Chains A and B, each alone.
Chain A
Amino acid sequence: MKMLKEKLPILLFILLLAACWELGTLVFDIPPYIIPRLSDVFAAIGHHAALLGKHFALTLWEALLGLAFSVLFGVLSAIWIESSSLARKTIYPLIVASQTIPIIALSPIMVMWFGYEMGSKVAVVILFTFFPIAVNTADGFRTADREIGELLRSMGAGKVQLFLKWKIPSALPSFFTGFKMAAAISVGGATLGEWLGGESGLGVYTKRAANMLRGDDVFAGVLLLSLMGVALFVAAQFIERLVLGRRQA
C-alpha cells in the first residue's frame, strides 16, 4: 500500500505522457514514419510478439553476460588497485584516462577482434560498463574509514582479515552505485554492438525497421529496449537492498 502511494505519481505521469502521445499524433496528424501512434506501437508489439521475444531474449542475454564480465574484471581491477600502490599509480589513472576515448569509435574494433557473433556484443557491453564498476569499487576501498581499520589492527587483525572484515564491507555501497549505473547502460552497449553488425537482437530489429521506414516497429523495439534497461536497473537495486539490508539509514 505504502509502495503504491510512493509510486503513484510516476505511474500517473507516465499515463499522462502516453495520452499526450496518442492524442498529439492524432490531433496534429503526424505521419507514422515520424512518430507513430502509441496504440500502433503496441499493436506492432502484439503483432510481432514472438519475433520480438526472441530478439529481446538475445539482447538481454548479451547485456547480462557483459555485465557479469564487467563485475568480475571491475572488482578484480579494484582489488588490484587497492592492494598495490604501483597499480594505484599506474592502472587507476589509465582507467580514468581511458574514458576520454569515445567508446562508440572504439566499438568497431571489437567487431574486428571478436567477429559478428556474440563475442563482439558482449565486448562492447564490457566497454560501456567496466568503468563505473571498477572506479566506484576502487573508490569504495580507498575511502574506507581508516580509524576502523586501525581499531581492528589494534585487536590483532591481519591483512586478510582487514580486507574481509573492513575493506569489502566498506566498499559495498560504492560498488552498488557503480553496478546500478552499469546495469542501466548495459542495454545501450548491447544495442550498439548489434548495430555494428549482427543477425539478431533488438538493435538489429530497430535498425532494419528504420531502413524500411516502419516507425511503429522502430518504436516498438525502442520501447522494449528502454523497458529492459529499467528492469535491469530495478533488479540491480533489488540485489543492493538484499545485500546491504538495513545497514543504511
Chain B
Amino acid sequence: MAGVNGQQVGVAPPREAGISGSAGLCVQGLTYRFDGEEPLFEGLNLEVPKGQFVSIVAASGMGKTTLFRLLAGLLQPESGTITAAGTGPEQQAPSGRRIIGYMPQRDCLMPWRTVLDNAAIGLELAGVSKREARRRVLELLPELGLAGTEAKYPHELSGGMRQRVSFLRSLLAGGELLLLDEPFSALDAMTRVSMQQWLLQVWEKHRKTILFITHDIDEALLLSDQVLVAASRPITKLEPLDVVLPRPRTYETTLDERFVHLKRQLLRQLGRISSGEGGVS
C-alpha cells in the first residue's frame, strides 16, 4: 500500500494511523444531518476489509446516497473520520480530498466525450497524459466486454454498455475503493442479471474493495462477501450478515439451498427491523 489519503479530525496522525492494515474503508463515529433536520447518521462505525465486496441494503429514504456522498468527500461530516486505503500519493487531489471510484446510479457519462475519453477522465484529472490514459483504457476495454466501442458516443450505447463504461471510469479513477450506488437499478431485469454476472467476473479478477448500495436482496447476496443492513433511523449501526457462499459465483448460485437460507435470514433481519422500529416499509 503506497499510502493513506485520509481525512482526520483533530491532530494530524502519522499517515497509517487511522486505519488498520487490512481495512479498505474505515468510518468512525460518523454523524451527519441536513440543516435543521434529524440526523441521518449518528456515531456510525463501518469497516470494509480490503479486497472485499460489501453491500448495504436499506429502505429508500434512509440516506444511503448521502452516506456515499460523505464517503466520496462531496459532503463534510459533522463529526467522525473517514479513511480510505490504497490511494497512491500520485493520485491524491491537490486539495487532499479522498480519491475514490464513485459509480453513480445514473451513468453520468459525458455526452461530449467518446467511450475512450469518458473512461479516461479520472486518469486525466490525476495528471496522467492523455495518451497514456487512453492506452490504459484501451487495454481494459476487451475484458470489460467493451472491445470496439472506444470511438462511440454514450448515446450510441445501450443502458448496460453505458454502465460498463461508467464502471470502468470508476475503476480507473484511482484508489482501491469503489463506491457503487445502485448501478443496475435502472436496467431491465434481463440486462440486470447479465450485468451482475459481468460484475462478478470483473471483480473476481481485480479484487478492488467495493461498497455496493442496493435495495435488491438477491443482488446483494449474489455479489457480496458481507451484507450490511441499515437498522434504524438515524442509522447508528449496520447489522452485518456474512455471505458464506463459495466463489466464483454465477447466477446459478441464487438457486442454491444455502443462498435461499441466507435470503430468508436477511429478510427476517429486515422484517424484524421494520416491525421493531416501524419506520421502514
Q: Which residues on A are within 8 Å of B, measured CB to CB? A: 145, 147-148, 150-158, 161, 165-166, 169-170, 172, 244, 246-249
Contacts and interface: CB of A to CB of B under 8 A. Distances in A.
Contacts of A244: 112
Contacts of A153: 73-74, 97
B108 A158 contact: no
B93 A158 contact: yes
Contacts of B276: none
9 contacts: A150-B69, A151-B102, A156-B97, A156-B126, A165-B124, A165-B125, A170-B112, A247-B112, A247-B153
B174 A155 contact: yes
Interface of B: 69, 72-74, 91-95, 97, 99-100, 102, 104, 106, 108, 110-113, 121-122, 124-126, 153, 155, 173-174
Given A147-B104, A147-B106, A246-B153, A155 B112 contact: no
B93 A152 contact: no
A187 B92 CA distance: 52
A141 to B, nearest CB: 14
Given A150-B74, A151-B102, A156 B110 contact: no
Nearest to B109: A148
A193 B113 CA distance: 42
A151 B108 contact: yes
Given A154-B72, A156-B125, A147 B108 contact: yes
A152 B100 contact: no
Binding site of A, secondary structure by majority: helix, strand, loop or mixed? helix
Contacts of B125: 152, 155-157, 161, 165
Question: Which residue, B95, B125, B155, has most C-beta atoms of chain A within 10 A?
Answer: B125
A32 B11 CA distance: 91
Contacts of B74: 150, 153-154
B157 to A, nearest CB: 12
> What 3 A-B pairs are tightest by C-beta distance, nearest first?
A156-B93, A154-B72, A169-B112
B111 A247 contact: yes
A244 to B, nearest CB: 8
B102 A148 contact: no
B95 A158 contact: yes
A224 to B, nearest CB: 38
A147 B100 CA distance: 16
Contacts of A147: 104, 106, 108
Contact of B99 (A155, A165, A246): A155
A246 B102 CA distance: 27
Contacts of A158: 93-95
Given A161-B125, A169-B110, A154 B92 contact: no
A217 B104 CA distance: 64
